[in-house]
Amino acid sequence: MSSHPRIGFIGAGNMASALAGGLLARGWPAASLWLADPSAAQLAAHSGRGLRTTTDNAELAAAVDVLVLSVKPQVMADVLKPIAGIARARRPLIISIAAGIPVASLQRWLGAALPVVRAMPNTPALVQAGAAGLFASAEVGEDQRRLAEQVLGAVGLSLWVEREDLIDAVTAVSGSGPAYFFYVMESMIAAGVALGLDERDARALTLQTALGAAQMAITADVGPAELRRRVTSPAGTTEQAVRVFDESGLGDIFQRALAACADRGAEMARELGGRD
Ligand SMILES: NC(=O)C1=CN([C@@H]2O[C@H](COP(=O)(O)OP(=O)(O)OC[C@H]3O[C@@H](n4cnc5c(N)ncnc54)[C@H](OP(=O)(O)O)[C@@H]3O)[C@@H](O)[C@H]2O)C=CC1
Ligand SMILES: O=C(O)[C@@H]1CCC=N1
């Protein structure tokens, strides 16, 4: 196998576009990236950049070394059954990025206990700043583990979790996590505007502050709590903002929000995973 295995995405939506775009920007050859989607319009931007595209999932499944299942969880069963025979014959590494679809369901729809990696990436993969949790089924060998790491690791951090239910926790923290930070950014921009800044300045200050805080937290030799303490002067301004967050139960809000997110993953597994 070449140093750049052929990777095929079934479902060319938001997350597949982020992963394929990130791999491309990282130097993955466009001709080794395949995308399948029923919508020719959805595929047009990708083919314009030299990626291989098709509206036929079976054609893609017959061509790739790594098959990334990037459709919505609700259509996964219908997507897998028609390509199950090809997958059993060719045995590509299968990586499912769908929230809430257990390995056992994927294998049942594929008609065999094929090696499956469940991955939970996030959209910052597009700018090589992704974060992904991976879980390997018992059938996944060492070489296939390394292959999954090569693909997800090319666009950011990737780490293995040893129990499948922890994928729901990864979803709550990092899979859905970008949305929480974007929400914070939206709220800070709106608050800055309410305090009199023009929208462009409020946005620029907010986004640069988010970037700076993340970079500091990643590189510092102390944790976020100490970094927060260093910004919070006694009897100063930050203290007043933190007081309002504490009085409003911000920590509890995050606990409940992430628990609701993880619970939804488990609920989807019950709703969708049991399908024939
Ligand atoms: N978005 C995110 O941040 C993350 C998403 N995920 C997971 O990734 C998966 C995809 O999510 P996302 O990219 O947001 O969803 P999108 O709806 O953006 O992408 C899914 C794509 O699959 C297409 N599709 C539908 N039916 C088929 C089919 N039969 N064969 C091939 N393609 C098909 C859809 O087309 P159409 O729109 O025409 O139906 C759409 O283009 C989900 O399972 C989600 O849980 C995981 C981590 C993060
Ligand atoms: O909201 C969702 O269900 C998907 C999974 C993680 C991020 N987006």
CATH 3.40.50.720 intervals, the chain: 7-167
177-264: CATH topology is: ProC C-terminal domain-like fold (1.10.3730)
* Cβ contact 11:71 at 8 Å: yes
* Cβ contact 262:100 at 8 Å: no
CATH 1.10.3730.10 intervals, the chain: 177-264
The residue contributing the CA closest to ligand 1 atom 2 is 15
Looking at domain 7-167, its CATH architecture is: 3-Layer(aba) Sandwich (3.40)
Q: Calculate how far, in angstroms, residue 235's C-alpha sits from the geometric centre of ligand 1.
A: 49
Question: Tens digit of pLDDT per residue, the chain (276 long)?
Answer: 457 899 999 999 999 999 999 999 999 999 999 999 999 999 999 999 999 999 999 999 999 999 999 999 999 999 999 999 999 999 999 999 999 999 999 999 999 999 999 999 999 999 999 999 999 999 999 999 999 999 999 999 999 999 999 999 999 999 999 999 999 999 999 999 999 999 999 999 999 999 999 999 999 999 999 999 999 999 999 999 999 999 999 999 999 999 999 999 999 999 999 888
Instruction: Put residue 216 in one of left, alpha, beta given phi > 0 → left and psi -120 to 50 → alpha.
Output: alpha
Task: Extract the annotated binding site for NADP(+).
Answer: 10-15
The answer for residues whose C-beta is within 8 angstroms of residue 139's C-beta and 6 or more apart is 113, 114, 115, 116
Choose one of 34, 71, 74 to mutate for the ligand 1 pocket test, by most ligand atoms within 8 angstroms of C-beta.
71
